[in-house]
Amino acid sequence: MLGPVRHRPHSEKRKMQDKNNRWILTAQCPSRLGTVDVVTRFLKEQRCYITEQQSFDDHLSGHFFIRTEFRPEAEGFGAEAFQAGFAERAAEFEMTFELTAPGTRMPVVIMVSKADHCLNDLLYRYRTGQLPIDIRSIVSNHPDLASLAEWHGIPYRHFPITPETKPEQEAQVREEIEASGAELVILARYMQVLSSEMCTRLSGRAINIHHSLLPGFKGAKPYHQAYEKGVKLVGATAHYINDDLDEGPIITQGVEPVGHADYPEDLVAKGRDIECLTLARAVALHVERRVFLHASRTVVFDR
């Protein structure tokens, strides 16, 4: 006997439609009276309904940040006309802004070495639609993960590197990134130190993931070092790259407790899990325009 047919409530359908029709307006400017009003008033005049809004005024630096999601209520909404109209209002506040259309998928290049856990996680989230990204290619200094990229139908670029060929290899990587049109580079356990020139070129558009352990352990087998010291927490940090190794502006961090019964292989497994989650979260925050770079720090409007 068939059970009752369940119809999705009209309100639930409307929510799904709204989510697929949400534009994102992000802006920042010097702190000044009326910064929120200039955004909300203009949206009202344009008959745009605000579905989410977050703002922050940094009183130490005197800088203001705002992120607004909205849906147009009037027919014939045009991005160019909207931007031109808002630019006139924003000029009074020295406000810079960006408008992102619904359904935008940011083009990305992923860089990896031999470890596949972060890449696998990103590919799953990409395949299932959890991450609004368009993976243009996967770049590696090793051939090991080519079959994984091939299974997903993504171009795999193998650029071997030695200390002697580093400049030439980075030139190949740079050419691939530029040719792909990537707006974001994800270092998913890419085990090479990028040159100062490369870091400068990718400033604000390259995210790295690395283990975060207290105390800090560098070199080979950090989780084994952590086990020997009896650490009680393992974690990971996702950050934008800069010229200081693993010290770029932090986007998000994750942590997992460990105990005396956790052996080195357990710490490694937990570390991999938290690296995957932390990197994926950072990428999602970036592509949803929830991260503002401000000097050496970030302003992050979480979900």
Separation between Cα atoms, residue 145 and residue 45, nearest integer Å? 52
Separation between Cα atoms, residue 251 and residue 243, nearest integer Å? 17
280 contacts 131 by C-beta, under 8 angstroms: yes
For 184, residues 6+ apart whose C-beta sits below 8 A from its C-beta are 106, 107, 108, 109, 133, 205, 206, 207, 283, 286, 287
Separation between Cα atoms, residue 202 and residue 196, nearest integer Å? 10
Question: Burial code of 131-165, b = ≥16 C-beta within 10 A, e = fewer?
Answer: bebbbbbbbbbeeebeebbeeeeeebbebebeeee
Burial class of residue 236 (count of CB atoms within 10 Å of its CB; 0-12, 13-18, 19+): buried
Catalytic residues: 246
Separation between Cα atoms, residue 90 and residue 98, nearest integer Å? 11
CA triple 127-132-135, angle to 5 deg: 60
Q: What is the DSSP letter of 218?
A: -
Separation between Cα atoms, residue 239 and residue 290, nearest integer Å? 14
- Report residue 112 CA to chain centroid gap: 16
Separation between Cα atoms, residue 224 and residue 221, nearest integer Å? 5
